[in-house]
Amino acid sequence: MRHELLDREWMYRVEGYRRAFELVDGYVDAFVEGLRSGRSMGVERIDVNRVLLLGMGGSGIVCDVAAEILSSKGIVAQVSKEYTAPPGEWDLIIAVSYSGNTSETLNSLLQFLDRGDRVVAVTSDGRLARLGERLGFKVIRVRSGIQPRYAFPDMLGGILGYLENLGLDLERINLDEIRGFQERLKRDKGVDENPAKEAAIRISKSHPIIYVYREVRLPGYRLKCELNENAKLLCHYAEIPEALHNDIEAIPRDGLIIAPRSFREPYEISKTIEALSRLLGERRVLELRASSKSYFEEIIELFMLSDYISLYTSILRGVNPLILHRIERLKDINAAYHEIKRRLDEKLG
């Protein structure tokens, strides 16, 4: 059977799969190294009440998680994923671009550079790093040479380490608990004891439909993006209960509802998912759960689960999880990207 590939060790020595699993297996260590990079920026005691985060794609979801953490601390945090950032006054602007060359992020940042706003960048290199060197804003460096989506723990750690230096009281993270959860997802665990492998088998045979609610919106979106990029699999993504008032009517026969669940889940949502399972049948609803009962650790565990699911699905679909065929090509032929970079290069001299 095709799913037996997931328990065959030689598959994980195939180039592409080997490197992808190395990166995901190093999740916690990468996060810790990111924290060190952020903390190395030095202590700054400033009042931070309004934060704008700029980022796209794999860097953008880092902004989403950081914004949710900031919001939980009573700080107004907004994420912009546009060519032009929203107007307003901000105490801090965090620009996140793994490559340092993301045109949308750089174009948004340009409008603030001449105003003297406080800016911090998270990047591996590129124009964003050179802007920081030229204009004197802080640059949190993360490791280079990998796809942005695999640098999620590095970049998030960098932001959180920097925020600690600003005096923000962030939640203490139990890394041992996260490592313990990750052990259940690794390739040496057989299909019957590995929830990521079990999920990948069901997803690879279906039309995946990810239904989320507020508490699991970000992990659900991460899974959607990772299935797109790693497994080259198109999937539907929607929020409940709104989705149950429209697109539920169009679920195809091979549709599989993927439902990330949280210990913070509202009672009404729990009953709604129960009803959905009764309506469609339990085999058409796949629930994804973390083991932690801590907000931040649950988010990280669900993100890791999404990453492993997407890699196992890439094996079953016979595609390389490292290679992107269209995203970079689209950037090459997009005239807007080249115009933005020309303006930046002029500013950099």
DSSP E strands, 161-269: 207-212, 236-239, 255-260
185: which DSSP letter? T
Q: Give the span between the Cα atoms of 144 and 125, in whole angstroms.
A: 7
Rg of the chain, C-alpha, whole Å? 20
Q: Which two tokens stand for residue 182?
A: 């990750």
* Other residues' Cβ atoms within 10 Å of the Cβ of residue 14: 11
Task: Bin 16: left if φ > 0, else alpha if -120 < ψ < 50, else beta.
Answer: left
Q: Where are the alpha helices (DSSP H) in 230-289?
A: 267-280
pLDDT of residue 1: 56
**Token duo for residue 301:** 């565990």
Please list, in sequence order, all residues whose beta carbon lies within 8 angstroms of the beta carbon of residue 249, skipping any fewer than 6 positions away. Answer: none
Sign of the alpha-carbon dihedral angle for 101, 102, 106, 107: positive
What are the domain boundaries of the chain? 2-9+175-317, 40-170+325-348
- Sign, CA torsion 20/25/31/37: negative
Q: Give pLDDT, residue 43.
A: 76
Q: Burial-class residue 69 by CB neighbours within 10 Å (0-12, 13-18, 19+).
A: buried
> Considering the domain 40-170+325-348 in this protein, what is its CATH number?
3.40.50.10490
For residue range 183-234, list pLDDT tens digits in order.
Answer: 999 999 999 999 999 999 999 999 999 999 999 999 999 999 999 999 999 9
Q: How far apart, in whole angstroms, are the C-alpha atoms of residue 329 and residue 217?
A: 29
Please give the model's pTM, rounded to 2 decimal places: 0.94
pLDDT the model gives residue 2: 67
Counting beta carbons within 10 angstroms of the beta carbon of residue 294, is it exposed (0 to 12), middle (13 to 18) or buried (19 or more)?
A: middle
| β-strands 76-80, 119-123 pairing | unpaired
CATH of domain 2-9+175-317: 3.40.50.10490
In the predicted model, residues of the chain with pLDDT beneath 50 are none
pLDDT at 331: 86
Question: In this structure, are residues 88 and 64 in contact, taking their beta carbons and an 8 Å threshold?
Answer: no
The encoded tokens of residue 23 equal: 């990166």
Q: Which pLDDT score is estimated for 166?
A: 86
- Dihedral, CA of residue 317, residue 318, residue 324 and residue 326, to nearest 10: -70
Indicate if 40-170+325-348 has the same CATH topology as 2-9+175-317.
Answer: yes
